[in-house]
Amino acid sequence: MNTSDAALLSVRNLVKHFPIKRGIIFQKEIGAVHAVDGVTFDVHRGETLGLVGESGCGKSTTGRTILQLYRPTSGQVLFDGIDLVTLKGNELRKMRRRMQMIFQDPYASLNPRMTVGEIIGEPLLIHGVARGKAIQERVEQLLELVGLNPAFSNRYPHEFSGGQRQRIGVARALALQPDLIVCDEPISALDVSIQAQVVNLLEDLQQQFGLTYLFIAHDLSMVRHISNRIAVMYLGVLVELADRTELYSNPLHPYTQALLSAVPIPDPFVEERRRRIILEGDVPSPVNPPSGCRFRTRCKYAKERCSEEKPEWREFQPGHFVACHFAGELG
């Protein structure tokens, strides 16, 4: 993949395997879960890169491994030219000020024993950015920024709705003025009417502060709305990456084609005429993924080559990457 001078984040051959062990006292490793298996992509400054795929494909693990919440098995995570994989201790802590995360579940990601003011102010305290009254002032600014009453800082998370809790999570992520925010399905646990409000808030904050987002989700229509480019993931590997307009109008990988065929279209005449692609079989286990192409067991175009040879991650067209032996030849 071409490296751009504007790339804030460059992920190269990122691998994360979780060992499977057996035994009570003397544990022996008998296998591994191949959660992320050689992922490569760039995220440019000020853009939103959407990362989509079925549940369990490794999207969230990719986001957490990038932030070093999970230490990678191998690969590089270059943030502003610095390889985060090589950093430890205070060096990594200093870099974490520039990278934050908005978690999926607004109910589980906030400490129920802490007030909202303590939750949002905790990053400021940990990193020594502010003390005492300055923390309270910054908390009130952040609450106002995300559309909440600053007077709510003394309340506890259980006193808020799901949408309000996610706004608190956004405020916490903004506390240290980061460059990159990993949004791990930040709207999937919310009502549909609230989802649009949170997405609009994220877009407004991006314009105001020049933020860069890695937006992880499985709602393809919402991803198209918020993202500049979209990467499609299947069973621990990327299968396609392109500009959102290009991806939706010209999907090259059969898995992407199947995903897009399931997105509802608000035109009954178009919806009636289009062809729905139904994938057969189940997603293989990440403990023992298929040889060659990971998608071949569910692909109607699969041939012998697909089981013997792993498809190369290549730039099929300018800015349009795909991992398929027969990209461009599929009907």
Lowest mean pLDDT, pick from 22-31, 37-46, 165-174, 206-215: 22-31
Q: How far apart are CA 279 and CA 192, in angstroms?
A: 26
pTM of the prediction? Answer: 0.90
Strands 314-317 and 320-322: antiparallel
Are 162 and 190 in contact, with CB atoms under 8 Å apart? yes
Domains and CATH numbers, the chain: 7-98+178-322 (3.40.50.300)
Residues 50-77, mean pLDDT to the nearest whole number: 94
Q: Is the pLDDT of residue 185 over 80?
A: yes
Q: Which residue has the higher pLDDT, 143 or 2?
A: 143
Instruction: Report residue 272's pLDDT band, with 50, 70 and 90 as the boundaries.
Output: low
3-state secondary structure of 30: strand
287 closest CA partner among 39, 15, 13, 19 = 19
Instruction: Report residue 1's pLDDT band, with 50, 70 and 90 as the boundaries.
Output: very low
3-state secondary structure of 100: strand
Q: Is the pLDDT of residue 200 over 50?
A: yes
Q: Is the pLDDT of residue 95 over 80?
A: yes
Instruction: Report residue 222's pLDDT band, with 50, 70 and 90 as the boundaries.
Output: confident
What are the structure tokens assigned to 227, written together? 């993202």
Q: Which residue has the higher pLDDT, 193 or 57?
A: 57
Tens of pLDDT, residues 278-292? 788 888 999 999 999
Residues 54-63, mean pLDDT to the nearest whole number: 92
Instruction: Report residue 267's pLDDT band, with 50, 70 and 90 as the boundaries.
Output: low
Q: Is the pLDDT of residue 118 over 70?
A: yes
What are the structure tokens assigned to 80, written together? 């502003």
Q: How far apart are CA 287 and CA 157, in angstroms?
A: 38
